[in-house]
Structures are given as structure tokens and as C-alpha cells.
Chains A and B, each alone.
Chain A
Amino acid sequence: MRYVRWLSLPLWVVGLYLALIWVPDVRALGVSYRIFYIHLGMAWTALLAMTANFVLSLLVLMRRKGKMETDRFAQASAEVGILMTTATLASGMLWARVAWGAFWTWDPRLTTTAIMWFLYIGYLLLRQAMDDETKRRVYSAVYALIIFVDVPIVYLSVRWWRSIHPVVFTDTGMNITPQMFIAVMVFFFATLVLALDLIYLRAFQDKVRQELQERRARRLGRLGY
């Protein structure tokens, strides 16, 4: 993991170059559409992080061993997922303002992303509100599984809902050229590597925190408390 970290930086540089300079303008969209490369990579990464959280939570419940480590990674992937979701929402809103004239358009994907953001913030809130570590592990894992099932239902309902209202803004049918595809994929991998690195760092940090707590406990013990 230590070496992968350094892969993220060149990937980002290359990705930025490809997205901002190399890929030609799309006539109908102007220069603003270039945020799309960043936006899409982050959105995919966010979804993958939430999926990782789901799988890890499942493992926390099913497996007998290594629960603590798995739980650490589950929490880290939710946190990074929220970070990526926030970035997706922010970049999406900026783009929407330029392309469609409004920050918020109740587009199905945008709305689902926002609801997903709330659901996973709830995951962190739930964890924070439980003191007992064993309980926190199991309860938050159950919650994570339940909300993961909810996300596709949210998406479906929002899509039906929007299809009823007059659709003001359609997804301007962009035909992806091979050039654009390459830029998208490079950016996606750059973001993915960054996310993996952040997850790993966060889990590591939590482990260190726990070790420090352990030491503090030992010292308090030696002092006779």
C-alpha cells in the first residue's frame, strides 16, 4: 500500500492533463463539461466505496475472526465514500449551474446521491452514539446492510417521480469518443487509487488510536487506577 500511494499523484496529473487539455471541446457543452471527468470518476468511486462498506459489514456479521480489523475498514470505506459523495454532489452542482442554470435540478441521480449521503452520514452518527465497541460493530453493520438495500429503491422511486414531471433538462446525449473514454478511465483510476489509499490510511490511523488508548490504559494501570 505504501507504494500505491505514490501512484495516485501521477495518475491525477495525467488525468487532469487529459481532461483539461487533451480532450477536445464538445461543441454543445462548451468548456464547462470538462468537470464531467472529475465528477464521473468520483461518483463511481463513491458507489464502489459504499459497496465495499456493504461487503465488509456482511463479513463483520458472518465471519468469526478478524472482526475488529474488518470493522475498521468498513468504517473507513464509509467515510471515504461520504467524502467522494460530497465531492460528486459539489462538482455536479457546479456543472448543473453552468449547464442548466440551476444548482439543484432534482435529477434522479443527483437526488439519489443526496439521499445516499444522508443515509451514510446516519451510519457515522449511529457509530458515534454507541460506546460499547462490540455492540457498535454489530449494530452499525446491520444498519449498513439495511441502507444499502434502500439505495436502489430510492433511485427507482426518484426516477419514476421525475418521469412524471415534465423533464426540463435532458442528459444532453453525449457520444463518448475513444479519447473521452480514455480520459474518463484514467481519472476513474486516479480517484480509485486515492480512495483506496485514504481508506487504508484511515483504518491505520484508527488502529494507531486504539494502540495509543491501550498504552494509556496500561500506564493508568501502572499508576494504580
Chain B
Amino acid sequence: MLEARDLRLQLGDRRVLRGVSFTLGAGRCLALFGANGAGKTSLLSLLSLQRTPTAGSLSLFGGEAAVDDLALRRRLGYLGHDPGVFLGLTGYENLLLHARLYRLQDVKERAVEELRRVGLAPFRHTLVRSYSAGMRQRLGLARTLMHRPELLLLDEPHQSLDRRGQELLDRLVREHCAAGGAALLATHETERALGLATDVMVLSRGRVSYMAPIADTPRATFEQVLGEALGGGGLC
């Protein structure tokens, strides 16, 4: 579903990514760990077609990924640090607009249904401006999942969610992967991510320092790689 070959990204005099290669198949859920500045968000920005890599290639769904391929964008769901919702619209209107831009069918019913799914149904006609950070994140999640993307790209999705919100997120991602989709989430929530993911990847200074299925990774090994990635070479 996703194949990255030697992705490199240089911003100014900083080599953010220095040759990242990995594949992600259908039904897999990859948890991405790494210290601040290891390149997690940059990697996600390349995978979500917001940036072109300095070098390397990326293929998505079996074809070479081009930044200007609009059809490809429809098959991606990206939730970044910012939930990406309009503060001056209500939750319902936000989803309605999203559904229309993605050309979904039965937009009104779908919008209500998605709001119910993330527990925002009672506040559907409230302006997002008066939502709390956690509610906005839930709305962002609904927006990301609404067009049924095949590949989910989540950047620290657990942030500002309460425990029930985090459980909801985990359940939705699990359902997504069980239905044959793939997901990649960058995170610092080690325990949650390990309970959710099928594979782990550790980024360290722009390179993949470890990647394996969770089933093949003894806890001690994981602790060791993660400790190395976070301990040595990160920002102090």
C-alpha cells in the first residue's frame, strides 16, 4: 500500500530525513516513535503529499506518488498537530464542507453520523470556536475518517484527548486496519501505541533505527532501541 524508498529531505542546512525506506501493507498499523527533531512530522508531510522530498521516491497504492495527483489525495486521511477545522463554522458545517469537497454521497446524513461516532452529536450546531481542544481534536478525527481513506496518517493523534477520547481513537484506528486499511501514527504515547499497532518503527536523526512487527519484538529489545533513540543524540 505504501512504499518509501530512500526518502530524503533537507530544510536549509538541516538534513531532516536521511534516507528513510520502509513498506506498509494493507491491514497494518505502524507506530512511529522518535525524539523531538527525529523527523516524524516531516516524514508524515512527505507521505501526505504536502511536500516533495529532496530525493528518493514514494509509491502509494501501487503507483508512483505525485504531489499534483488529486485522485490520490482522496485516498489519504491526514490529521496533523492542528485539527484543521474552521473555527467560525459549527461542527456539522465543517463536516458538511469536507464531505462536499471530497464529493461524498448523502452528505447531510454522513455528517451527522460521523459526529455521533466521535461523540459530538449534542454540539453539532455549536461553533467550533467554543469547542475545547479535545473536542476540536475529535472533530478533526471525524474529518480525517469521513471520506473513508485507505491510508491514515496521524501526527500525535492522542494529544489533548481525554481517556475516553483516546479509547475512541484507538478503536476507530483498529477498525480501520481490520477493514483492510493501513495506518501510520507518530506518537509519544508508548503504551497506547503499542497496544494499538501491529508494527513499530523508531526514527533516529532522520534514519530508521528500528522497524519490526510488534509480535517479533521482545519488550526488552524495544525498550533498548527506544532508549537509544531518545537518550543519545536527541535535543537536550
Q: Which residues of A contact B (CB under 8 A)?
A: 131-132, 134, 213-214, 216-218, 220-221, 224-225
Contacts and interface: CB of A to CB of B under 8 A. Distances in A.
A132 B11 CA distance: 7
Contact of A213 (B12, B51, B233): B12
A217 B13 contact: yes
A217 B233 contact: no
A224 B233 contact: yes
A216 B51 contact: no
B54 to A, nearest CB: 9
Contacts of B52: 134
15 contacts: A131-B11, A131-B12, A132-B11, A134-B51, A134-B52, A213-B12, A213-B13, A217-B15, A218-B15, A220-B14, A221-B18, A221-B205, A224-B205, A224-B233, A225-B233
Given A132-B11, A220-B13, A220-B14, 10 more contacts: A131-B11, A131-B12, A213-B13, A216-B13, A218-B15, A221-B15, A221-B18, A224-B233, A225-B14, A225-B233
Contacts of B14: 217, 220, 225
Interface in B31-56: 51-52
A131 B9 CA distance: 14
A131 B233 CA distance: 26
Contacts of B205: 221, 224-225
A127 to B, nearest CB: 15
Nearest to A215: B13
Contacts of A218: 15
Nearest to A135: B51
Interface centre among B11, B13, B15 (most CB of A within 10 A): B13
A73 B113 CA distance: 54
B51 A132 contact: yes
B48 to A, nearest CB: 15
A214 B205 CA distance: 17
Contacts of B11: 131-132
Contacts of B15: 217-218, 220-221
**Ranked 4 nearest A-B pairs via Cβ:** A216-B13, A213-B13, A217-B15, A217-B13
Contacts of A221: 15, 18, 205
A66 to B, nearest CB: 16
B23 interface: no
Contacts of A224: 205, 233
A220 to B, nearest CB: 7
B10 A217 contact: yes
Nearest to A218: B15
Contacts of A225: 14, 205, 233
Interface string B1-36: 000000000111111001000000000000000000
Contacts of A213: 12-13
A225 B18 CA distance: 11
Contacts of A132: 11, 51
B167 to A, nearest CB: 37
Nearest to A219: B13
A225 to B, nearest CB: 7
A61 B46 CA distance: 21
Nearest to B235: A225
Interface string B205-218: 10000000000000
A225 B52 CA distance: 22
Interface string B176-214: 000000000000000000000000000001000000000
A132 B15 CA distance: 14
Contacts of B12: 131, 213
Nearest to A213: B13
Contacts of A134: 51-52
A15 to B, nearest CB: 43
Contacts of B18: 221
Contacts of B233: 224-225
Contacts of B51: 132, 134
B211 to A, nearest CB: 21
Contacts of A216: 13
Nearest to B233: A224
A115 B91 CA distance: 46
A209 to B, nearest CB: 11
